[in-house]
């Protein structure tokens, strides 16, 4: 099981994370990204980590 966490202050608003998340738990509201689903629904693929230029995401194995 994995959990995604997000540093909102680091977000640059590029929307890459929401487009890249195969679990569909990341959302973009036009300004900032957010974890819209259960953070523990994360698949652990680290796609958000790979595409985020600001390094705002962390995936942790539980």
Sequence-distant (≥ 6) Cβ neighbours of residue 43 within 8 angstroms: 2, 22, 23
Domain range annotation of the chain: 2-61
Sequence-distant (≥ 6) Cβ neighbours of residue 39 within 8 angstroms: 3, 4, 5, 25
pTM: 0.86
Residue 49 dihedral angles phi and psi, to the nearest 5°: -65, -40
Is residue 61 predicted with pLDDT exceeding 90?
A: yes
Q: pLDDT band for position 56 (50/70/90)?
A: very high
Cβ burial, residue 14 (10 Å; 0-12/13-18/19+) = middle
Specify the pLDDT at position 57.
Answer: 94
Question: What class has domain 2-61?
Answer: alpha beta
Specify the pLDDT at position 36.
Answer: 87
User: Structure tokens of 16?
Assistant: 């890459």
Tens of pLDDT along 1-50? Answer: 999 998 989 999 898 998 889 999 998 888 888 888 899 999 999 999 99
């Amino acid at each position: 099981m994995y959990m995604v966490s997000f540093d909102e202050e680091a977000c640059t608003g590029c929307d890459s994370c929401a487009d890249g998340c195969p679990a569909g738990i990341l959302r973009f509201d036009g300004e900032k990204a957010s974890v819209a689903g259960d953070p523990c629904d994360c698949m652990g693929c680290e796609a958000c980590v790979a595409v985020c230029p600001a390094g705002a995401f962390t995936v942790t194995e539980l």
